Amino acid sequence: MHVIIAGNSESEGQEAVRKIKEETLTGKVEFLYCDLASMKSIRQFVQQFRAKNCPLHVLVNNAGVMLVPERKTEDGFEEHFGLNYLGHFLLTNLLLDMLKQSGTHSHNARIITVSSATHYVGKLHLGDLQSRCSYSSHGAYAQSKLALVLFTYQLQHLLTANGSHVTANVVDPGVVNTELYKHVFWVVKMVKWMTAWLLFKTAEEGASTTIYAAVSPEVEGVGGCYLYNEERTKSAEVTYDEELQRRLWTESCKMVGISDESRRVP
């Protein structure tokens, strides 16, 4: 496989590349800079990727921030919604034609988006997606993860309607011991430090369902699923609201400045 790691830290990205090359010896892997909190950076990344003339068989949307204090991205979006959701929404849409060209009837291209069990308690405020009325870091994070599930289901609907050989699934990695928790309250950090070995998954364990969704023959041609512990499970009831899926998609297209293809699909 030819793996491209996209991230907003050159040093961490190159270190990951070095480790993978060291462990696999035959692996073809490289790093490309992409800051998902910047629409300009996402577009530049897509240009760089297109210039390589590579096929795109698997796209994993995995970046995120959690419980950050109220602040905005360079485009003026609330950071959880702007980075966790809109960044992935734009990136996926800009790469969609390449995914469609790369997928075949027997080997579909795959889009895997990482959400969280937090989406179960999330509420989508279509009239205030930027959490301007009353900001809660927990509420904003949960809303961004809920939006990712709604986005995945609507995306799969559009892909199916167009007869594309591309599938879209959403993954819940579980509670994983990563740097994602750096903005939580100090008491929570202390509890995490004391219990991580017992209650938290390692990064490798947390990645297992994403890898399953990316390469397993069991999900070949299967899309529109919420996967947890390498099994299909039910997401929050609200995520199956097709009208809400459509409205979020349309609003998201306006926010990132792309055409709304869903209007052409019955």
Q: Does residue 33 have an active-site annotation? A: no
Q: Are 227 and 209 in contact (CB under 8 A)?
A: yes
Catalytic pick among 85, 135, 141, 226: 141
Residue 66 contacts by C-beta under 8 Å, 6 or more apart in sequence? 80, 141, 180, 181, 183, 184
Q: Are 167 and 59 in contact (CB under 8 A)?
A: no
Single out the residue of 233, 226, 80, 45 nearest to residue 151, CA to CA. Answer: 226
Q: How far apart are CA 203 and CA 38, in angstroms?
A: 26
Cα-to-chain-centroid distance, residue 62 = 5
Q: How far apart are CA 195 and CA 63, in angstroms?
A: 24
Structure tokens at 197: 């070995």
Single out the residue of 74, 78, 61, 75 nearest to residue 137, CA to CA. Answer: 78
Strand 226-228 and strand 231-233: the pairing is: antiparallel
Residues with catalytic roles: 141
